[in-house]
Amino acid sequence: MIGAGNIGSQVARAAIASRYNVVISNSRGPETLADLVSELGPRARAGTVEEAASAGDLVVIAIPLRAMGDVPSEPLGGKTVIDTNNYYPRRDGNIAALDDGSTTSSELLQGRLPGANVVKAFNHIYARQIASDATPPGTRDRRALAIAGDDASAKAKVAELIDGFGFDVVDIGPLAESWRIQPGTPAYVQRMNAEELTAALAAAERQS
């Protein structure tokens, strides 16, 4: 985990409930994560960002967009990297290539991490709902989450993770289509089952 705030800590909790081991990091250093690690239990330990990036088979990036320049590229080579990011210009500052719709925030991250396989996921659910909305496979009206990515095997790994966390999965397609789930689109932070989510993704209109 790179990022231990709202979304990073909740994904870490769900991962541990799914019996993954977690190395979690933030900007201030491992010693500031003692309380969280103690709460997460023996499957968790704190590390530096470099350590978390090196340790993970799956690496989750849950830091503000403006901090993406700090993510180390080299240790992420060949890995599946989950991008939880959203672009909020008021919070993140204006980025021209996002404002004019010529790219997406996940493609920007993929460009920074050329050796990694970036998969967009968890960006359109409130962090606390990762625990509260989880249900077993086959549950009627089970909530669905969207993924987007350019590498099929990386997406398959993330889909398996999400199903294990308690959600159906809808594949949007490549990262270039990930705008369909960005803030302001019909499915953003809405509770939907797979059928509803599929329809909402198809109905999304690019805003810029």
Ligand X SMILES: NC(=O)c1ccc[n+]([C@@H]2O[C@H](COP(=O)([O-])OP(=O)(O)OC[C@H]3O[C@@H](n4cnc5c(N)ncnc54)[C@H](OP(=O)(O)O)[C@@H]3O)[C@@H](O)[C@H]2O)c1
Residue choice 11, 15, 46, 63 for contact with ligand X (CB under 6 A): 63
d(CA 130, CA 21): 18
Residue choice 19, 28, 90, 140 for contact with ligand X (CB under 6 A): 28
Residue choice 44, 62, 159, 192 for contact with ligand X (CB under 6 A): 62
Of residues 31 and 57, the one with the C-beta less far from ligand X: 31
Of residues 72 and 173, the one with the C-beta less far from ligand X: 72
Give the helix/strand (H/E) hosting 106: helix 105-112
Question: For the window 72-91, what string marks contact with ligand X as x by the rule CB under 6 A?
Answer: ------------xxx-----
User: On the CB side of 1, how many CA atoms lie within 13 Å of its CA?
Assistant: 32
Residue choice 22, 49, 59, 109 for contact with ligand X (CB under 6 A): 49
Q: Indicate the pairing of strand 117-120 with strand 144-149.
A: antiparallel
Residues of this chain, 129-188, that bind ligand X according to CB under 6 A: none
Q: Are 161 and 92 in contact (CB under 8 A)?
A: no
d(CA 28, CA 43): 21
d(CA 156, CA 50): 25
67 binds ligand X (CB under 6 A): yes
| Number of residues in contact with ligand X under rule CB under 6 A | 24
d(CA 11, CA 84): 10
Comparing CA positions, the residue from 132, 146, 128 lying closest to residue 192 is: 146
d(CA 104, CA 155): 18
Of residues 19 and 28, the one with the C-beta less far from ligand X: 28
Of residues 62 and 154, the one with the C-beta less far from ligand X: 62
70 binds ligand X (CB under 6 A): yes
Kindly list the residues in this chain that would bind ligand X in the complex (CB under 6 A).
Answer: 2-8, 26-28, 49, 62-65, 67, 70, 84-86, 122-123, 126-127
